[in-house]
Amino acid sequence: MTNHHKTNCTVCGKSFSMSDLRPGRFVRPLMADRISADHPEWNADAYICHGDLNHYRSQYVQNVLASLVEYPSRIDPVAQRVGDDERDRLVDGKMT
């Protein structure tokens, strides 16, 4: 039996099957803050589609990267290398 029930993404307003949506309560708090800043009606009981989630995730990663490069002069070479690894992990890793 297939479930054809569709639910709207609160962010873009398009309808998706539940497998393509993520409930707000499972979104990282820092990303949730960012989403609700753009979409005040979005909350822990609302849903966001994977496309929108990826959009906010990349914004979130860029924010983290910006904070890492903000004070390069305070980072010694070893820590700098760790920072590079962390950046690679953030960019390549799945932050779910």
Q: 58 with 52: CB under 8 angstroms?
A: no
CA distances from 42 to 74, 92, 96 (A): 38, 28, 19
**Residue 49 in contact with Zn ion, rule: CB under 5 A:** yes
Q: Is 57 helix (H, G, I), strand (E, B) or coil?
A: helix
Q: Pick from 52, 53, 56, 60 the residue near Zn ion by CB under 5 A.
A: 52
The CB-of-91 to Zn ion minimum distance in angstroms stands at: 23
Binding region for Zn ion (CB under 5 A) out of 4-12, 26-34, 63-71, 84-92: 4-12
DSSP 22: E
Binding region for Zn ion (CB under 5 A) out of 19-27, 48-56, 63-71, 80-88: 48-56
